[in-house]
Amino acid sequence: MEKPFILHMLTTAKNLSPFDVNMALDAGWVSAVPYTNVEPSEITALVQDAIFSRGPKGLKRTGIFIGGRDAKQALDMLKAAKHAMLPPFEVAVFSDPSGAFTTAAGMIASVEKELKDKFNTSLENKNILVLGGTGPVGQIAAVIAAQAGANVRIIGRQLEKTQRIARLCSEEFGEGEITISAGLDADKADYLQTTDVVLATGAAGIELLNANLIASAPQLKIAADVNAVPPSGIAGVDSFANGTPISHSTVGAIGIGALAIGNIKYQAQNRLLKKMITDEGAVFLDFKQAFEVARDYLNAEKT
């Protein structure tokens, strides 16, 4: 009798995300077992309990999902899980705290595609402003864009906090190979004078970029918003926007809304959960692999 596919789902939060459970079962995992209020220090013991209870064939049908709320903590837990394994006792591990990794991947993949299709250009050397960028989606979107060659600035209300987050993104998430700048929300009108792409990644239901600011941006090409709760994070960019012209723009900028980004996020998460099942041996998945599969999905959709 074949052993069932078991996904051990770990989160530091009080509750496991129902969204993630649904995604796991729909991707082919037979059982999604929740572990809540997990302390990072408990990862080694939990992982080793999982890997030493099954033989090699069973381990191919075993996986670990890491959720939570904090991007750095989730990546640290992913590293700890990897270090806890002893070949051949290895399983697939996927980290996606609050869906931030797959959401950020979907956002940047969408922007990249629209830059190519509508403006015949790429992310390389584009000036990107990340509004509400101190949260997990903003952090990871900034890192992915910078790794693709963009000049990225994270915007926040408190300069010291924003600078700390920018350093974290550059040095920790970007492994010192990228440089992300920080700026104050109060100064965004000045930054918009040289901005090509705006990413709105703040809290739901808060407008981060109004119509006047959009009209004042002389080289704006794309404004993308992950907020699906009215009012939109960017004026004139509703949830359904998908490469749609922004009425307030005087230079032909287009908008990408939350539902368009969410569809790609869904596809990326689904494909990574399936990859855990189909790939031989251990795989360790985070925002880098999420961006790869989001890109692949959009390229396949186009052809």
User: The domain spanning residue 159 has which CATH number?
Assistant: 3.40.50.720
Model confidence at 55: pLDDT above 90: no
- Quick check: 250 and 215 in contact, CB under 8 A? yes
Q: Which residues, at least 6 apart from 223, have a Cβ–Cβ distance to it below 8 Å?
A: 197, 198, 200, 209, 214, 234, 237, 246, 253, 254, 255, 256
Pick the closest to residue 108 from 189, 29, 224 (CA basis): 224
- Quick check: 69 and 97 in contact, CB under 8 A? yes
Q: Does 180 lie in the same domain as 112?
A: yes
Q: Does 191 lie in the same domain as 271?
A: no
Is 59 part of any domain? yes
99-118: per-residue pLDDT in tens?
A: 999 999 999 999 999 999 99
Alpha carbons within 13 A on the beta-carbon side of 119: 22
* DSSP-derived 3-state class of residue 28: coil
Q: What is the predicted pLDDT for the residue at 1? A: 65
171-187: per-residue pLDDT in tens?
A: 999 999 999 999 999 99
Is 1 part of any domain? no
Model confidence at 303: pLDDT above 70: no
Q: Does 238 lie in the same domain as 119?
A: yes
Q: Does 216 lie in the same domain as 232?
A: yes
Is 65 part of any domain? yes
Q: Does 87 lie in the same domain as 55?
A: yes
Q: Does 13 lie in the same domain as 69?
A: yes
Per-state percent for the chain, helix, strand, coil, to nearest 5: 45, 20, 35
Angle ∠(161,151,224) on CA atoms, nearest 5:
80
Q: What is the predicted pLDDT for the residue at 281? A: 74
Q: CA dist 180 to 112, 128, 171, 211, Å? A: 18, 10, 9, 27
Q: What is the predicted pLDDT for the residue at 56? A: 79
Model confidence at 170: pLDDT above 70: yes
Q: Does 238 lie in the same domain as 171?
A: yes
Q: What is the predicted pLDDT for the residue at 14? A: 96
Is 47 part of any domain? yes
Residue 35, strand partner residues? 10
Is 241 part of any domain? yes
Q: Which element (helix H / strand E) includes 62?
A: strand 62-66
Q: Does 46 lie in the same domain as 141?
A: no
Is 180 part of any domain? yes
Is 190 part of any domain? yes
Q: Domain holding 42: CATH number?
A: 3.40.50.10280
Average pLDDT over the chain reads: 96
Q: Does 244 lie in the same domain as 111?
A: yes
Q: Does 121 lie in the same domain as 72?
A: no
194-205: per-residue pLDDT in tens?
A: 999 999 999 888
Q: Is 39 exposed, middle or buried (0-12, 13-18, 19+ CB in 10 A)?
A: exposed
DSSP class of residue 171? Answer: I
Quickly state the pLDDT bin for 282 (edges 50, 70, 90): confident
Give the range of the structural domain holding residue 23, as residue numbers without chain letter.
6-99+264-302
Q: What is the mean pLDDT of residues 253-274?
A: 98
Q: What is the predicted pLDDT for the residue at 87? A: 86
Is 195 part of any domain? yes
Q: Does 209 lie in the same domain as 69?
A: no
If one compares 56 and 14, the residue with the highest pLDDT of the two is 14
Name the CA radius of gyration of the chain, rounded.
20
Q: What is the predicted pLDDT for the residue at 251? A: 98
- Quick check: 285 and 92 in contact, CB under 8 A? yes
- Quick check: 100 and 140 in contact, CB under 8 A? yes
Token couple for 54: 């099954």
- Quick check: 96 and 291 in contact, CB under 8 A? no
Model confidence at 211: pLDDT above 60: yes
81-95: per-residue pLDDT in tens?
A: 999 998 889 999 999
Strand 242-245, strand 181-184: pairing: unpaired
The count of domains in the chain is 2
145-154, 217-226, 227-236 — which is least confidently predicted? Answer: 227-236
Q: Does 121 lie in the same domain as 20?
A: no
